[in-house]
Amino acid sequence: MQSPDETLLSQYRYNALDQLIANTFPNEPEHQRFYCKSRLTTEIHGATRHSIIRHDVQLLAEQKTEGDALNSRLIASDQQRSVLNTLGANHSRQPIAYTPYGHRPAASGLLSLLGFNGERPDPVTGWYLLGNGYRPFNPVLMVFTSPDSLSPFGKGGLNCYAYCQGDPINKNDPTGHWPYWLVKPLGVFKRLKRPLPNEPLISRSISATDSITNAIPTPPPLPATLPSVSARIPLRTREPGAPLRKVRSSSTDSTHSYFTPTQSSLRAEAEASARQIEMLNSIPPRRRATL
């Protein structure tokens, strides 16, 4: 129940989607709001209608219609979509500045429906009703005036009244729930390949002007042809009593000096196996069958 000593300043009306669609002041016509993709596009106040023209999320212009009169103004904004200037046919340019949390003097005379971060300030309190009226933000106190509905152990954060986690310069919170970065941190993340066994490690200092791509050394190209060494003796079936055949290496030159330690060991095993085959071939067939 309203106390007789209290004065009603404004009434707010919401729809089923919890969006602010109208507010009423004493002895004045109702202010009606219309949204497109959760963004304010039109506000009607009696015979006066304001329309916001955007390209995606960027503000471009505002049209004000009073009866048959049409007044259009271009909007200059920053990366946070805060209105910094307007330019119309009957009005000169008038710059405006905000505090980091969006406060500006009420007598600044900014001829625009929107303000800080492209949000509509409340005409009575000067607060920003973020999330289409879900949660009021006070730019003077620099905090929300109501707690977040999300859990403090989740996306709500430990401080349920904090705005943009204390960083309104780099973050924005249009929904009133959680902020997001305006510009993603710079950085290129690439999956680096393992260096080749014979590739020397290259290390040098990286200056601020170097890019990550230039700082990564390029591995040397592989040779066009590599020496092929076959030291594996295949298993083959043979007739009982038939002599064993010797399998030679496919390399015709046995004096190469470019064998790696692994290739040298395989070559030694192949030579030992060949000697065993020669020894078995020298045994008579009858004695060989008893072995």
Low-confidence ranges of the chain (pLDDT < 50): 186-193, 201-204, 206, 208-209, 211-212, 215, 229-231, 233-236, 246-247, 249-259
The CA-based angle 181-184-188, given to 5 degrees, is 160
| Structural domain contains residue 46 | yes
Structure tokens at 156: 């709500």
**pLDDT (0 to 100) of residue 44:** 94
| Structural domain contains residue 249 | no
In angstroms, what CA-CA distances link 89 with 59, 76, 210? 18, 15, 48
**pLDDT (0 to 100) of residue 187:** 47
Number of domains making up the chain: 1
Distance of alpha carbon 265 from alpha carbon 73, whole angstroms: 84
**pLDDT (0 to 100) of residue 220:** 62
| Structural domain contains residue 215 | no
**pLDDT (0 to 100) of residue 239:** 54
Contacts of 150 (CB under 8 A, 6+ apart): 156, 177, 178
Contacts of 209 (CB under 8 A, 6+ apart): none
Query: Helix, strand, coil % (nearest 5) of the chain?
Result: 15, 25, 60
| Structural domain contains residue 109 | yes
Domain span at 76: 11-181
| Structural domain contains residue 231 | no
Query: Taken in order 147, 152, 154, 159, is the CA torsion positive or negative?
Result: positive
| Structural domain contains residue 289 | no
Helix (H, G, I), strand (E, B) or coil at 72: strand
Cβ proximity of 58 and 50 under 8 Å: no
Distance of alpha carbon 33 from alpha carbon 20, whole angstroms: 7
| Structural domain contains residue 73 | yes
Which letter does DSSP use for residue 121 in this model? B
Q: In this structure, which long-range contacts are made by residues 1-10, counting pairs with CB atoms below 8 Å and at least 24 apart in sequence?
A: 9/124, 10/122, 10/124
**pLDDT (0 to 100) of residue 289:** 53
**pLDDT (0 to 100) of residue 57:** 84
- Give the strand order in the sheet containing 143-144: 128-129, 135-138, 143-144
Phi, psi of 175 (to 5 degrees): -95, -20
Cβ proximity of 132 and 95 under 8 Å: no
| Structural domain contains residue 65 | yes
**pLDDT (0 to 100) of residue 142:** 94
Which letter does DSSP use for residue 183 in this model? S
